Amino acid sequence: MLLKTGVFGGTFDPVHIGHLAVAERVYCDLGLDRIVFVPASVSPFKLGEVGTPGEHRLAMLKLAIKDNPHFTVSDIELQRGGTSYTVDTMEMLRERYPQDEFYFIMGMDSFLELGGWKDVKRLVELCQLVVVTRPGYELPQEQKELSTLPPYVWQRTRFLEMPGLDIAATEIRERIKKGRSVRYLLTPEVESYIYENGIYR
């Protein structure tokens, strides 16, 4: 059975309501069958940074999505370990689910870095890219980061406007560290998990 599967990768440190809102919007607007959240082991763009252990980020994701039947979590990158390259993950997902049609979800910040990603040509053969932008955002194709992207990338990329949930995991970590409220930025279950396990303190 052919399934249209959205793949949402990231460090999710922590997963917040902005992530969930983006995933739900993509699921609905593209008519997908499911969204798979894939927490990274080590992002190639964050080498050398000390992040929250994978088991905590995985647990928070499972808590965040538990009430949504079309959301699921895969620990494929955590199990593989090492640096998490999206093309390697998509190859593994393609092997596991050969009938699926894949859509990889990313923000504009990630799309601007796409020229530095591993084997982009193969990546867009494995999946379509879904780039979430802010409303009214003019795609800066003249920017040097995007001007070098080949036509096959643009042919396999869709852009989706997402109204104003400008939430950053960095800010959430900083607020928790300072003892400030993060209510309504996280699901209650994730917030409780963070405090119970002393994360970001």
Print pLDDT tens along the chain (201 aa). 789 999 999 999 999 999 999 999 999 999 999 999 999 998 776 665 668 999 999 999 999 999 999 999 999 999 999 889 999 999 999 999 999 999 999 988 889 889 899 999 999 999 999 999 876 666 655 566 677 889 999 999 999 988 766 788 999 999 999 999 999 999 999 999 999 999 998
CATH class as words, domain 4-167:
alpha beta
Structure tokens at 188: 């209650």
Structure tokens at 9: 């990768």
Give the SS3 label for residue 196: helix
Structure tokens at 75: 């620990």
Determine if the peptide bond prior to 14 is cis (ω within 30°): yes
Structure tokens at 37: 């959240």
Burial of 48 by CB count in 10 Å (0-12 exposed, 13-18 middle, 19+ buried)?
A: exposed
pLDDT for the residue 141: 57
- Is this structure's pTM higher than 0.95? no
Q: How far is CA 91 from CA 37, 99, 163, 176, in A?
A: 16, 13, 32, 37
pLDDT for the residue 144: 66
